[in-house]
Structure 1
Amino acid sequence: MSAEQMKPEGRPEIFDFQGISMVNYFTDNWENVQNFHARPDDILIATYPKAGTTWVSYILDLLYFGKDMPERQTTLPIYERVPFLEFAVPVMHTGTELAEKLSTCPRLIKTHLPVQLIPKALWEQNCKVVYVARNAKDNAVSYFHFDRMNKVQPEPGDWNSYIEKFMEGKTVFGPWYDHVTGWWEKKQNYSNIHYMFYEDLIEDTGRELERLCSFLGLSTTAEERECIRGGTQFDAMKANPMANYSTIPVMDFKISPFMRKGKVGDWRNHFTVSQNEEFDEHYKQKMKNSTLVFRTQI
């Protein structure tokens, strides 16, 4: 089947689904998502969209399978190695199908769902969760460019209207604020969540790798970690067809690459002074009851 035939027709409409904004491509397989059979050694990678999901997925894949299954790195795109649980685009395998077909142990599975919509079995099986959070301003910019090029997302409009939508929580997967704080609160009473910050990963990938290994109970040598750090640097992944999503038909790389800049602070190139002031005021209100602290520059 050609890439052209596989492209879903038109852009989806956003609608309210269990209290958050969604599109049908993430709800059409809902029964199978909610009834997903988790295993105790499954590892869930959870993020708000465009917060470093693919980066951390690739790191985990290399940590577990880089040495023993090197052929995976050149033959299987990351979205098949780490299925997207709620993904349900016609003529492509659903996320639950791909997850069930995985022969690896542990199974690495990714999701963008807010904490309240995670399948119960993942909690019941006490699965480990790696959550990655990114500061709201850079996250909004990255999501805007992603929505421009991704046909399974609604039309983003221009930046000025998009940033308003982002603040109102009318982007797919709901408000950024609720997503990052919901998972942060869950971590307080569920010890198997490792909460990471995108900015920390950019600042010192080696240190964050060490912390991640400690959480996962993996013993790795400094050399192994350095090798993984090198292989998952932004430019290396951006050039790697098995990591950069260039083999998926629903994304238009002529508009914007899937991996655009991978920087902290790019928001300064998008926010006007008045947008920044309005955003800061709104942010303060939304986050006033949370102990979460983000950095918008490093």
Structure 2
Amino acid sequence: MEWRTVEIRDEKGDGFDTVQCEDMVFPKQFLHIQPDVRMKDIKEFKYRDGDVLICSYPKTGTHWVFNLVHFLMAPGPVEQKIMPSPRLIDLHPLAEIEQLTSPRVAITHLKPNRLPVEHLQARGKIILLARNPRDTMVSHMYHTQRHEVFNFSKLSWDCFFDNWTKGQIPTGSYFDYYNSWEKSLQEQNTNLNVHIVFYENLIKDGLGELKKLQQFLGVTNTEDRLNQILDRCSWRRIKVDVKTGEQPAQPDQSELTRKGVIGHWRSKFTVSQDEMFNKILEQKFKNSMFNKPI
């Protein structure tokens, strides 16, 4: 693999560096963990019965759903449990994930062709998250501003918009990511075991979505406990936990959560950007199963 450095800068020179190879885009710091070796090790990661992969494009509700899954699968009083640190197989030491107690839950922003082969062959459970691309883009921008891996970027919104729509922001193109998943799900020889969670549905009907999710996971929680889980994992509670220190120390924890609302993109998009984005959707995403109205 040949990785090239690409600078993302606005007219003032603000921004950050990325490294890109084939269809992959990562922050430049990714080079420190030997990306070629990492991609190979991920594909060869050994499957264990009960493993769950949460697959998503960044800022589509990954951390939120990780917490929900944890409480769904961990019996006992909800209020007495601490939220665990998410394990991102793209960056987290794989040896630590290997040693987790079953059922292991890990997250990834990689496309299906780069996932652990044994997990796919064994029909391991995959939870695929999706969110309206406009809100995803805005949340992604705020994430880069608050995260040290992006040098707390002050990249202008116009420049971010341009690079995000072109797939130049880690982890690459939103549209290519979901189109690759749709292609994999529709292939005649596919045997994927995937449950799709739409962020907006989870916001609007959390209880109903949790019932579907626990059925997919093969676990049972009373409706009262499901409501407790929804409250425990709410944006309000997570932010309070971060401030009071009730959650375990996690780097960038505060950067993982912000507003969690639907339609916040309207505060950033100009009329011309909205029109331009509609054309992009028409070209790249018109008939996609992930292109849901908001």
Shorter-chain TM-score bucket reads 0.7 to 0.9
Give the CA deviation at 1:219.
2.2
CA deviations on 1:100-155 (whole Å, 9 max, x unpaired) are 1212x210011111222112122122210001101100000000000111122374
* TM-score (structure 1 length as normaliser): 0.82
Supply the distance in 2 between the matched residues of 1:132 and 1:172 (Cα, whole angstroms): 17
Instruction: Note the 1:184-195 alignment, pairs <5 A.
Output: 184-188=182-186, 189-195=190-196
Q: Percent identity?
A: 27
Counterpart selection for 2:104 from 88, 107, 110: 107
Q: For residues 12 and 167 of structure 1, do their structure 2 counterparts lie closer, same or farther at Cα, with a shift above 3 Å needed?
A: closer
* TM-score (structure 2 length as normaliser): 0.83
Instruction: Note the 1:251-270 alignment, pairs <5 A.
Output: 251=252, 257-270=255-268
- Residue 36 of structure 1 aligns with an amino acid whose one-letter code is F
Supply the distance in 2 between the matched residues of 1:244 and 1:199 (Cα, whole angstroms): 28
**1:37 match:** 46
**1:13 match:** 17
Q: 2:150 aligned with 1:153, yes or no?
A: yes
Supply the distance in 1 between the matched residues of 2:136 and 2:43 (Cα, whole angstroms): 27
CA contact (8 A) 1:149 1:252 kept: no
Q: Give the secondary structure class of the aligned counterpart of 2:148.
A: coil
Instruction: Note the 1:66-105 alignment, pairs <5 A.
Output: 66-67=75-76, 73-74=81-82, 78-79=84-85, 82-87=86-91, 94-103=92-101, 105=102
CA contact (8 A) 1:244 1:258 kept: no
Q: 2:208 aligned with 1:207, yes or no?
A: yes
**1:5 match:** none
Q: For residues 291 and 57 of structure 1, do their structure 2 counterparts lie closer, same or farther at Cα, with a shift above 3 Å needed?
A: closer
CA contact (8 A) 1:47 1:53 kept: yes
CA deviations on 1:163-219 (whole Å, 9 max, x unpaired) are 111110111111001112222333343341001100000001000001111212222
Supply the distance in 2 between the matched residues of 1:217 and 1:185 (Cα, whole angstroms): 26
CA contact (8 A) 1:144 1:156 kept: no
**1:236 match:** 237
Q: Give the secondary structure class of the aligned counterpart of 2:150.
A: coil
Supply the distance in 2 between the matched residues of 1:292 and 1:86 (Cα, whole angstroms): 23
Give the CA deviation at 1:156.
6.1
CA deviations on 1:53-107 (whole Å, 9 max, x unpaired) are 0110000100111417976x33xx532xx311111xxxxxx3312211212x210
Q: For residues 285 and 259 of structure 1, do their structure 2 counterparts lie closer, same or farther at Cα, with a shift above 3 Å needed?
A: same
Deviates more, 1:224-233 or 1:196-205: 224-233
CA contact (8 A) 2:78 2:225 kept: no
**2:167 match:** 169
- Residue 57 of structure 1 aligns with an amino acid whose one-letter code is F
Q: Extract unaligned runs of 5+ from structure 1.
A: 1-10, 88-93
**2:6 match:** none
Give the CA deviation at 1:12.
6.5
Give the CA deviation at 1:32.
2.5
Supply the distance in 1 between the matched residues of 2:167 and 2:229 (Cα, whole angstroms): 35
- Residue 150 of structure 2 aligns with an amino acid whose one-letter code is Q
Number of residue pairs the alignment of both structures matches: 270
Q: For residues 24 and 176 of structure 1, do their structure 2 counterparts lie closer, same or farther at Cα, with a shift above 3 Å needed?
A: same
- Residue 249 of structure 2 aligns with an amino acid whose one-letter code is T
Q: Extract unaligned runs of 5+ from structure 2.
A: 1-14
Q: Give the secondary structure class of the aligned counterpart of 2:126.
A: strand
